[in-house]
Amino acid sequence: MAQKKLKMGMVGGGEGAFIGNVHRMAANLDGQIELVCGAFSSDPVKSKRSGEALFLEPSRCYGSFLEMFEKEQALPASDRMDFVSIVTPNHLHFAVAKAAFEHGFHVICDKPATFSLQEAKQLKDLIEKSQKLYGLTHTYTGYPLVKQAKHIITTGQIGDVVKVVVQYSQGWLAAREDTSGKQAAWRLDPAQAGISCCMGDIGVHAANLMEYISGQRIIELCADLNSTVMGRQLDDDGTVLVRLSNGANGVLTSSQISIGDENGLAISIYGSEASLSWRQEEPNTLWMKFNHQGAKMIRTGVGEFCDEALAAIRTPAGHPEGYLEAFANLYTRFAMQIRAYPSQLQDRETIPGIEDAIRGMAFIENAVSASISDIKWHKFII
């Protein structure tokens, strides 16, 4: 029987939202997925207007996620949405995902996965019960050269990992007066963002990338989170020193007040034989360096790549692929898992899932509690 595009519903991402549109473009790119319905806003009129601008049938632009799940569940299988994409503010992620699983839908969700570690653990239980698929969009793991870096390390080409330095530096919260609009407002509001702004928004990406590429886990940490602008309740900057599971040390610096920095995520992994460096803002270049020979510049599409990296490349060398392509790689892999379901469950190597969700939430909570302690080192507790 002929295959069809997978049908996606979306919660959140109405007019004016940034990340919702990113998810939609990522889902569109490879022509594997079509958006068929959405609860784009808690305001039904706005939701409908958002959906129509996306060429949806008005009848499938819902006023609430519950309504969407119920009505879609009632549709014949050939029309019904296959999975939901959750792009609401953080505090709603859990409730939407829970309802999705309860109505039998797979879930792909923006990060951080939940509002708290506790919710993330509950989510895990729900996933195990429902046996549905769950994908978490740690976008940066979708870049081909991130996958290649992981492969180089896994295959022992840099020797033992000795040190990891990761930096995620932005400047958009540097302004003293709040000039950054709606985004800044909810990111800095504990009721919507949770216990952390900077670590919760971007530090968690850095921690995920550190663990993903190095193949190690954070087991101890020392944290110094800062709120550099008077009156802020949450951190806008911070550094976390870590010990990794193999004894390597790491430094994670994250900031949203580093004025002039755009989306400066960069990682260096130093091994006993060689090192790797990668910068998200120039994602098609990966450096492999040595002490006693010239460095090797690995460029997307030039030379040999591991299967995972190859599958993530769409164009020949020199045709820059960027953030949306990396994001699309997650969606396309998630789509492949849905097509293979239930013979194959979610595979953390190809798209982050609930384990990453839990470690991410744990990272945020551990960093915050270590930061307010006078003791230097703390075990990483889940």
Check binding of 283 to a copy of itself (CB under 8 A).
yes
> Smallest Cα–Cα separation from 297: which of 312, 270, 319, 276?
276
User: What gap in Å lies between CA 135 and CA 27, rounded to an integer?
Assistant: 13
Residue 248 CB, shortest distance to a copy of itself, in Å, is: 8
User: What gap in Å lies between CA 200 and CA 65, rounded to an integer?
Assistant: 24
Between 165 and 311, CB nearer to a copy of itself:
165
Residue 41 CB, shortest distance to a copy of itself, in Å, is: 18
Residues 6 or more apart whose CB falls under 8 angstroms from that of 57 comprise none
Check binding of 249 to a copy of itself (CB under 8 A).
yes
Residue 22 CB, shortest distance to a copy of itself, in Å, is: 7
Residue 314 CB, shortest distance to a copy of itself, in Å, is: 7
Check binding of 12 to a copy of itself (CB under 8 A).
no
219-238: contacts with a copy of itself (CB under 8 A): 222, 224, 226, 228, 237
Residue 149 CB, shortest distance to a copy of itself, in Å, is: 13
Residues 6 or more apart whose CB falls under 8 angstroms from that of 106 comprise 82, 83, 84, 100, 132, 133, 134, 135, 334, 338, 341
Instruction: Out of 304, 307, 342, 343, point to the residue binding a copy of itself (CB under 8 A).
Output: 304
User: What gap in Å lies between CA 83 and CA 98, rounded to an integer?
Assistant: 13
Residue 77 CB, shortest distance to a copy of itself, in Å, is: 17
> Smallest Cα–Cα separation from 164: which of 124, 128, 123, 217?
217
352-381: contacts with a copy of itself (CB under 8 A): 373-377
47-66: contacts with a copy of itself (CB under 8 A): 52, 54-55, 57-58
Check binding of 4 to a copy of itself (CB under 8 A).
yes
Residues 6 or more apart whose CB falls under 8 angstroms from that of 70 comprise 103
Size of the site for a copy of itself (CB under 8 A): 95
309-338: contacts with a copy of itself (CB under 8 A): 314-325
> Smallest Cα–Cα separation from 277: which of 288, 264, 263?
288
